[in-house]
Amino acid sequence: MAFVNPITGKEDDMASRMRSFRNVLQTRSGSMKTFVLKERDGKTLVGVSMWTDEAAYKSAMASMQAPTQSTPPDRLRESPPTMREFFEI
């Protein structure tokens, strides 16, 4: 899960960027489900992805690092996203 607080007035741009990221994740091996959600108050966007296993998740995240770093979204968000990882037990 990635929690992102967009800069005021840039919510739609940040949501669009997150949807693009989601669309790429959906093409990766092991992707089960992905969501881009908005908190009820509209201040926080949340990206959620579900994977078949941890190895698929790690592989997908590693493959996404280069594109993400080449186009930093600093002008769209207040700070880097807060990342939370959960695994089924």
pTM for the model: 0.77
Residue 71 has a pLDDT of: 47
- Dist CA 84 CA 59 (whole Å): 17
Written as tens digits, the pLDDT of the chain (89 aa) is 899 999 999 889 999 999 998 999 999 999 999 999 998 887 899 999 999 999 999 998 888 765 544 445 667 888 888 888 877 66
Q: Which domains does the chain have, with CATH numbers?
A: 2-83 (3.30.70.100)
24: Cβ–Cβ under 8 A, 6 or more apart, which residues?
A: 64, 67
Phi (first) and psi of residue 40, to 5 degrees: -50, -40
- What SS3 class is residue 28? coil
